[in-house]
Amino acid sequence: MSRRARRDTLAFIGFTAPNFILLGVFVFWPIVYSLFLSFFKWNMIAPKKTFIGIDNYVSLFNDPVFWQITRNTLALAVFTVMFKLGIALALSIQLNRNPKGGSLYRAIIFSPTFTTSVAVAMVWTWIFEPTYGLFRFLFRALGMTSPDWIYNVHWALPAVIIVLVWSGIGYDMVLFLAGLKNISQDIYDAALVDGVTPWQNFVHITFPLLSPTTFFLTVTSFIGALKAFDIISIMTDGGPMNSSNVYVLYLYQNAFQWFKTGYASALALILFLLIMVVTLVQNRLSRRWVHY
């Protein structure tokens, strides 16, 4: 190896080593250690861990609460991604037409993105409050009774979905808008000459050319929804009766409230596998509809 090659190699190691060390300490080692803990019974206080084999996984799959929370998480992910992307796409199409005050609208819609989750959860908890919340007055004006949003087993999860959709629309809208700006106007002009309707424009031109952006947002939004925690923890804490409890919150409860560290580690590994499978399936299905 020449002197210059050695110098370049040392420079490469010097620039990349800190990143690899951080990844090793804060990402890869916790994954390996979590897998190790999933075969033990430990409360994080006792100095000794008790090896129990796969009992944590057996208990997990026999736990009806686990299955209820898994259904809640998947339902939350599907509906959040579906509504969030649909609304964001519709808004981006309207803003792409450069309406008067478009910059102001973009700023308003994007503002929840940089608002802290704690503030979002607290404000929406007040809005949903059935006694003095904002929705109560809106429903009363319509001659209707406001549901007990965050205190009712049938409405708690929809309330959380509404908040997650509202807080995530701005980010998705900006990315969709960037994708729309990259579509050449010449394509639409040629379609206009051929007598294409607006709906045909969307189906055969806009959506196919936006498919890479849509795929990216679908994958990242689904992963984000599967890991939802902070807003739900503040608004409902998983209640009532686990009707709005989700996977990561249940994991946190087991690990740091009930000190069932081994059981929580098994939950973490299952979540890792679930996210990996969902992402691989989405990547495989993307070959049928994503046009690069």
Q: What pLDDT shows up at residue 1?
A: 64
Of 57, 39, 59, which is closest to residue 49 (Cα–Cα)? 39
Cα gap 238→235, rounded to integer Å:
8
Of 125, 114, 116, 113, which is closest to residue 221 (Cα–Cα)? 113
Q: What tokens does 92 get?
A: 């981006």
Residue located via tokens 């902070």: 230
Q: What pLDDT shows up at residue 4?
A: 81
Mean pLDDT per block of 10 residues along the chain (292 residues) reads: 80 88 90 91 85 92 93 94 94 88 86 88 89 82 82 91 93 92 86 84 88 92 91 90 93 91 92 91 87 74
Of 244, 276, 91, which is closest to residue 177 (Cα–Cα)? 91
Q: Between 207-226 and 64-95, two packed helices, what is the crossing angle to 10 degrees? A: 150
Q: What pLDDT shows up at residue 202?
A: 87
Cα gap 136→128, rounded to integer Å:
8
